[in-house]
Amino acid sequence: MRLMITGADGLFGSQMAPLFMNDSFYSEVVLKSVNDFDIRQKKDVIKNVCEIKPDILIHMAAWVDVDGCEKKPQEAMEINYRGVMNITEACRMIDSKLIFISSDYIFDGIDPPLGGYLENSESNPLNVYGKAKRFSEQYIQNMLHNYLIIRTAWLFGGGNAQNSFILKVLDSLKYSNKFYAIVDQVGSPTYSVELGECLCKILKSKDFDSLKGIYHIANTGECSWYDQALKTVEFMYGRTHQYKIIPVLMNSSSYYARRPKYSVLNTDKFYYATGIRLSSWENSLKQYIESLKI
Ligand SMILES: NC(=O)c1ccc[n+]([C@@H]2O[C@H](COP(=O)([O-])OP(=O)(O)OC[C@H]3O[C@@H](n4cnc5c(N)ncnc54)[C@H](OP(=O)(O)O)[C@@H]3O)[C@@H](O)[C@H]2O)c1
């Protein structure tokens, strides 16, 4: 089994790649970063993918700065939609199974179903990043028969204080005893390591060939950024500490792009298909914070 991963040095990719690299199940695991090829360059994408001929390609390369995407929509569409089109076309040429990582930001948070969004809930992205993800999903669905679209959300674990909320909280509290966190945006935080382990498991399962279409995978439960910041501090410093987490509303934040107020992902479909359910976000966050203490 030959596996290729794009965006392998990103937040999720860097957590996930070692899990695959050390596994003899794969005859070859090829990790690609932006230094190897730019997904916007169709010729380079096709040349690289066709040379490697992976059985499975996990496409994680993306521009994930939601506000940056809103400020530069053309660039965002080039990377997050055109880039996916290029990857999809390459997969079609050599009949590779494409695993595309999509996002909860394809939903608008208005009138969500009880228990969170389902795979077939109506999408209505509020920002350019979400639109590019949804267009990409539709393109893949039209072009390929062998694909897996995994929608996940609010990844933590890995990264740095610039792109990881948890590290941003802990880093800020080194300089101030206060941290302002958004209280009116609710989602499904997801531990990148646990998501990576879950992908490892399903790729090796006997039912993997028949697993196709869109699935939501996220830690269970739901919370706001404020709840997540509170738990981060509690797990790091114990229940009694000197830090103050102050709730703020989205419309008084520095967000440039609109975000859904509620984008919790219902993960039942994935559970019924695979028997796998990720743990609660609190348990996973605790495990991640413990790993930071070592
Ligand atoms: N982070 C989240 O909360 C979240 C939630 C839902 C879904 N996702 C999806 O999960 C996937 C992984 O996200 P992540 O958080 O790991 O993002 P990340 O840390 O930013 O990693 C993405 C990687 O893609 C690379 N990249 C950017 N533009 C590229 C281009 N034109 N050609 C080739 N590579 C390019 C980036 O390189 P540079 O860093 O050098 O630009 C980076 O290494 C993405 O598809 C993202 O949309 C993420």
**pLDDT band at residue 174 using 50, 70 and 90 as cut-offs:** very high
pLDDT of 294 strictly over 90: no
The token duo for 112 is 């969500």
Ligand 1 centroid to residue 218 C-alpha, Å:
17
Q: Which of 15, 32, 34, 59 to mutate to test the pocket of ligand 1 (most atoms within 8 A of CB)?
A: 34
| Torsional class of 143: left (φ above 0), alpha (ψ -120 to 50), beta (otherwise) | alpha
Domains of the chain: 2-158+189-218+264-279 (3.40.50.720)
Q: Give the list of residues 6+ apart from residue 262 with CB closer than 8 angstroms, or none.
A: 109, 112, 185, 186, 187
Helix (H) or strand (E) holding 93: helix 83-94
Q: Which residues in 126-216 belong to E strands, given as ranges? A: 147-152, 155-156, 178-182, 186-187, 190-191, 213-216
Q: What is the mean pLDDT of residues 4-11?
A: 95
Q: What is the pLDDT of residue 65?
A: 96
Q: Give the list of residues 6+ apart from residue 132 with CB closer than 8 angstroms, or none.
A: 69, 76, 77, 79, 80, 81, 84
Asked if residue 72 has its Cβ within 6 Å of ligand 1, the reply is no
* pLDDT above 90 coverage of the chain, percent: 95
**pLDDT band at residue 257 using 50, 70 and 90 as cut-offs:** very high
Task: Centre a 10 Å sphere on the Cβ of residue 103 and count the other Cβ atoms it contains.
Answer: 26
Q: Do 232 and 81 contact (CB within 8 A), yes or no?
A: no
pLDDT of 160 strictly over 90: no
pLDDT digits (tens, 9 = 90+) for 62-74: 999 999 999 999 9
pLDDT digits (tens, 9 = 90+) for 99-119: 999 999 999 999 999 999 999
Ligand 1 centroid to residue 172 C-alpha, Å:
24
> Is the pTM for the entire model greater than 0.95?
yes
Q: What is the pLDDT of residue 163?
A: 86
Q: What is the mean pLDDT of residues 254-281?
A: 97
Asked if residue 158 has its Cβ within 6 Å of ligand 1, the reply is no
* pLDDT above 70 coverage of the chain, percent: 100
